Structure 1
Amino acid sequence: MSSTFGTYKTAYSGMYTSQAGLGATSNNLANVNTTGSSRTRVSAADKVTAQSSGSMGTGADVSSITRIRDQLLDQTYRAQNSQASYWSVKNGNLEYMQELMSEFGTTDSSSTASSSGLQATIEGFFNDWSELAKDPSSQSTRQALVEAANSLVSNFSELDQQLQQLQQDACNSVKDGVDSLNNLASKVAVLNGQISQAEVGNSGEASYLEDQRDELLDQISSLANISVTTGTDGTVQVSIGGTALVDGTKTRTLTVAGDGSISSPLQVQWVNTGNKAEISGGSIKAYLEDAEQTGYSDIATATLPYSYSTDNTSSISTLRQGLNNLLTTVATEVNSLLSSGTDLDGNSGSSIGGFFTPVDSGKALGITNIQVNPAIVSDTDKIAISATGKKGDGTIAKAISNLTGGDYFSCNGLAMNSTEFYAALTSWIGTAGSNASSNYSTQSALVTQIDTQRQTVSGISLDDEMSNMIVYQNAYNASAKVLSTIDELVAGLISDLGGELS
């Protein structure tokens, strides 16, 4: 049985424990709208004094301040968040590429109507050859053809420049992502040190530090795939592809090697070893793939048709290669036909080097190095469309207009004409975009669903916290009442004893 003065300590312990619970509740309420904040609960334990006849309760004590968190849900969230970030980048780039494909148009030479889409530019170019075949000596038709050819080259070249810029943006995003990864890792290491000290000192403040660390880990998971393990001292080890990025208070630094060119592709490496970092998810992985340029190359025109495939890692390089194939093949076939013709001045078509020529004669003809022959731009009479040498002969112009029906292209092993090839190209990018959009939607839904589950476990509820506050308040008041009652009893006893002595 507790003594009168022992009851003082028992009542005080109850007040202390209730006050700690009120403090935790107050902090929960203050962080009800704070991103990443978890509910905390005060765990109380009986204070027991062992005696020869048994044991006696001497109140309560705060054993710990516990953070309500499900680590399995955290791990699942980060894995799905990594994939969602990956598909977000893929989806965004493919959507932009589809927009670019539809932005470039042409004005029909036979009317004032303007058509959008790259296909309209191609059709307008071949239609003008058909018109020239009807009236080979028409200066206005020849001029319209040159304008259509310039429009064709300009649109293809400008589209390719936009795609190159998108690819350069991907390179820059890889470097920015790695910088962010290193910065976040350093912050996690600092928090690891603080949490370890709090755990050793049993100060109870580690719960709030762990919330900050978990928020950083969520951010890291959007950049790259990570695995997280927690040590006995409360610190975490964060690994990428089996190599520790953060280990306690220590970090390993990542860097980006290469400039993104074909000869020097980008690679994320560990600074201390130079080994490649095995990044298999997150936005950095997506940007690395789209920055890859090895899927693009010049075309050897002597070996046409070019064997085109849509299986390259980078969707940007895949589209660039398809457009390069389309333009270069058309230019090569037009040049080949015109080389056998005669112009209005009676000169051979081969004398000027082709209808399309490279801007830099030292490099291969292609989408990045092509122009309408300046000699033809300045004098349209040099367009050699006569097969007989007669000025009224438009045989070669007719043959060029029929190029759209020839199987001069190969896509994924199938022979195609220009219309079919362009349709295959647009179909591929549409399918790739649809798949990316579907995957992104699915992953986003999973991330939202898992985060909702996390919030159900660790989220702060105003109603629950208000109820807890009332419970702790009543418990505190009850313990205070006991303390007050004991105080009155002792005061009365002292008063009575004093009266007898007098």
Structure 2
Amino acid sequence: MSSTFSSYKIAYSGMYASQAGLGTTSNNLANVNTTGSSRTRVSATDKVTVQSSSSTGTGADVGSIARVRDQLLDQTYRTQNTQASYWSVKNGDLEYMQELMSEFGSTDASSESSSTGLQQTIQDFFNDWSELSKDPTSQSNREALIEAANSLVSNFTELDQQLQQLQQDACNSVKDGVDSLNDLASQVAALNDQISQAEAGSNGEATYLQDQRDALLDQMSSLANISVTTRADGTVQVNIGGTALVDGGKTRTLTVTGDGSVDSPLKVQWADTGDAAEISGGSIKAYLEDADQTGYGDIDTSTLPYSYSTDSTSSITTLRQGLNNLLTTIATKVNSLLSSGTDLDGNSGSSIGGFFTTVDSGKALSITNIQVNPAIVSDADKIAISATGEEGDGTIATAISKLTSGDYFSCDGLAMNSTEFYAALTSWIGTAGSNASSNYNTQSALVTQIDTQRQTVSGISLDDEMSNMIIYQNAYNASAKVLSTIDELVAGLISDLGGTLS
């Protein structure tokens, strides 16, 4: 049984525990709208004095001030966030590529009408060959054909330039992403040191530092596939592919090598060893894939049809190679037919080097190295469409206009004409875009769902905290009343004994 004077200490301990609870509740209320802040709670413990035959309660003590947090939900959130970020990049790039494909169209000068899509540009080009075959000596038809050819080359090359820029943006994003990852890792390591010191001092401040660290880890999960291990001292180890990026207060540095070209692809490596980092998710992985130009190159025009496939790592590279194949094959077939013809001046079509020529003669004909022959642009009479040498003969123009029906293309092993090949190309990008959009929507929904579950566990509720405040307030007042009552009893006892309480 406790003495009268020991009751003072018991009452005081109750006031102390309630005050700690009020302080924690006050901090929760202050951070009710702070992003990433976790609810904290006080764990009170009994103070017990053990005697030989019994134990006596001697009040309450504050055991700890801890966050309410579910580490399994945190781990699940980061895993799903990694995938959501990956598909966000993929979806964004494919949407942009589809927009580009629809933007490049053609305008019919005669009717002042415009159509969108490269297919219309190709069709207008071959239609003008058909019109020229009907009146081979018509200067207006020849000028219209040159205009259509320039439009064809311009649209293809401009689209390829846009795709090249998109690919360069992916390269830059890899470097920016790795820089951000290194910076976040340094911040996590600094917080690890602070948390370790706080935990050692048992001052309770580590809970708020841990919130800051968790917010950084969430950001890191959007960049790459991280795994987080919490240690007994409160610090964490952050791994990428089984290799530590953050280990307590220490970090390792990631670096990017290569320029993104076919000969020098981008690689993410550990700066100290040069070993490749196993980046298997997040936005960095998506940008690495889209920056990859493996599978893009000049086609061998001597062995047409070119064996085109849609299995490149990068969707940008896949589209660029498809467009290169389409334009280069059309140009090669047109040049081949015209080389056997005669122009209006009686010269052989082969004398000027073809309807389409290279800009840089040292490189192969391709979407990045093609133009309408300047000699033809300056003199439309040099378009050699006569098979007999007679001015009114448009046999070769007719043959060129029918190139759209020839199976000069191969896509994933299937023989196709130009219309079918273009349809296969647009179908592929549509399917890839739909798949990326579906995956992104699914992953985003999962991230939102898991984050909602996290908030249910660790989020701060205004109603709950107000209720806790009333409970702690009443408990504090009750302990204070006990202390006051004991004081009155002691004062009465002293007075009865003839003493004076000063």
TM-score range, shorter chain: over 0.9
Greater mean alpha carbon deviation, residues 108-117 or residues 135-144: 108-117
Please give the alpha-carbon distance, in whole angstroms, between the structure 2 residues aligned to 1:224 and 1:439.
17
Query: Percent identity between the aligned chains?
Result: 86
In the other structure, the counterpart of 2:463 is 463
Please give the alpha-carbon distance, in whole angstroms, between the structure 2 residues aligned to 1:245 and 1:445.
29
In the TM superposition, 1:201-280 aligns within 5 A as 201-280=201-280
**4+ residue segments displaced more than 6 Å:** none
In the other structure, the counterpart of 1:40 is 40
Please give the alpha-carbon distance, in whole angstroms, between the structure 2 residues aligned to 1:199 and 1:232.
10
In the other structure, the counterpart of 2:404 is 404
In the alignment of these two chains, the number of paired residues is 501
In the TM superposition, 1:320-399 aligns within 5 A as 320-399=320-399
Please give the alpha-carbon distance, in whole angstroms, between the structure 1 residues aligned to 2:159 and 2:423.
17
User: Is 1:452 aligned to residue 452 of structure 2?
Assistant: yes
In the other structure, the counterpart of 1:95 is 95
SS at match of 2:451: helix
SS at match of 1:498: coil
Root-mean-square deviation (CA, aligned residues, Å) is 1.1
Structure 2: which 5+ runs fail to align? Answer: none
Aligned amino acid, residue 450 of structure 2: I
Please give the alpha-carbon distance, in whole angstroms, between the structure 1 residues aligned to 2:467 and 2:172.
51
In the TM superposition, 1:111-130 aligns within 5 A as 111-130=111-130
Please give the alpha-carbon distance, in whole angstroms, between the structure 1 residues aligned to 2:274 and 2:246.
17
Q: Tell me if the contact between 1:270 and 1:277 (Cα under 8 Å) persists in the aligned partners.
A: yes
User: Is 1:434 aligned to residue 434 of structure 2?
Assistant: yes
Aligned amino acid, residue 409 of structure 1: F
Please give the alpha-carbon distance, in whole angstroms, between the structure 2 residues aligned to 1:500 and 1:432.
92
Distance 1:348 1:57, change over 3 A: same
Aligned amino acid, residue 472 of structure 1: Y
Shift of 1:442: 0.3
Aligned amino acid, residue 461 of structure 1: S
SS at match of 2:497: helix
User: Is 1:291 aligned to residue 286 of structure 2?
Assistant: no
Q: Tell me if the contact between 2:305 and 2:408 (Cα under 8 Å) persists in the aligned partners.
A: yes
Please give the alpha-carbon distance, in whole angstroms, between the structure 1 residues aligned to 2:77 and 2:241.
18
1:248-286, CA deviations, whole angstroms, 9 ceiling, x for partnerless residues?
100000000001111100000000100000000000000
User: Is 1:23 aligned to residue 35 of structure 2?
Assistant: no
Shift of 1:34: 1.2
Please give the alpha-carbon distance, in whole angstroms, between the structure 2 residues aligned to 1:15 and 1:500.
28
TM-score normalised by the chain length of structure 2: 0.99
Aligned amino acid, residue 290 of structure 1: D
Aligned amino acid, residue 414 of structure 1: L
Shift of 1:489: 1.5
Shift of 1:500: 9.5
Q: Tell me if the contact between 1:109 and 1:128 (Cα under 8 Å) persists in the aligned partners.
A: no
Aligned amino acid, residue 292 of structure 1: D
In the other structure, the counterpart of 2:195 is 195
Aligned amino acid, residue 472 of structure 2: Y
SS at match of 2:498: helix
Q: Tell me if the contact between 2:494 and 2:500 (Cα under 8 Å) persists in the aligned partners.
A: no
SS at match of 1:273: coil
In the other structure, the counterpart of 1:414 is 414
SS at match of 1:392: coil
SS at match of 2:262: coil
Shift of 1:35: 1.3
SS at match of 2:238: strand
Please give the alpha-carbon distance, in whole angstroms, between the structure 2 residues aligned to 1:16 and 1:342.
105
Q: Tell me if the contact between 1:105 and 1:114 (Cα under 8 Å) persists in the aligned partners.
A: yes
In the other structure, the counterpart of 2:2 is 2
Please give the alpha-carbon distance, in whole angstroms, between the structure 1 residues aligned to 2:235 and 2:416.
60
Shift of 1:495: 2.6
Q: Tell me if the contact between 1:348 and 1:384 (Cα under 8 Å) persists in the aligned partners.
A: yes
Greater mean alpha carbon deviation, residues 107-116 or residues 159-168: 107-116
1:453-497, CA deviations, whole angstroms, 9 ceiling, x for partnerless residues?
111111111111111111111100000110111111222222333
In the other structure, the counterpart of 1:133 is 133
